[in-house]
Amino acid sequence: MPENIIIPISPDSLLEEVLKMKNSECRLVQICSVRLEEGYELSYSFGKDYDLYNLRFTIGDDEEIPSITNIYPTAFLYENEIHDLFGVQIKMISVDYQGTLYRTDKKTPFK
């Protein structure tokens, strides 16, 4: 059975770790956010062949994280999604929808 590995990292080293993934020729599989009592738990999943590596870290409610769209341009959809649904603040997304990717009645419904 292929590997399904969770790698805990600190939020500050996100870009560094993502760059490592990029250099080892992984593809971006998904970005997932889980609402905790306070803050969010984020998983950035990368795939290589059939293995899945998940970078895992938690952030506070008001913490801002950098966008990885400079490294993986396709991340813009995932980042806008977690911004729109959870209210995770991400700076410098290459295509920033400013909260209009999901046109929900209520802002950040999953928060």
Q: Where are the beta strands (DSSP E) in 9-63?
A: 27-35, 40-48, 51-59
Task: Please select the residue that binds other proteins; options are 18, 44, 54, 87, rule is CB under 8 A.
Answer: 54
Cβ–Cβ < 8 Å for 54, 34: no
Q: CB of 55: closest distance to other proteins in angstroms?
A: 13
| Residue closer to other proteins (CB basis): 12 or 107 | 107
Q: Which stretch binds other proteins (CB under 8 A): 13-21, 58-66, 67-75?
A: 67-75
In whole angstroms, how close is the CB of 39 to other proteins at the nearest point?
14
Strands 40-48 and 27-35, bridge-based pairing: antiparallel
Q: Which is nearer to other proteins, 17 or 40 (CB)?
A: 40
The rounded distance, in Å, linking the Cα atoms of 99 and 53 is 28
DSSP conformation letters of 39-54: SEEEEEEEEETTEEEE
Contact between 91 and other proteins by CB under 8 A: the answer reads: no
**Residues engaged in binding other proteins (CB under 8 A):** 1-2, 4, 25, 27-30, 32, 34-35, 43, 45, 49-50, 52, 54, 72-74, 76-77, 84, 95, 97, 100-104, 109-110
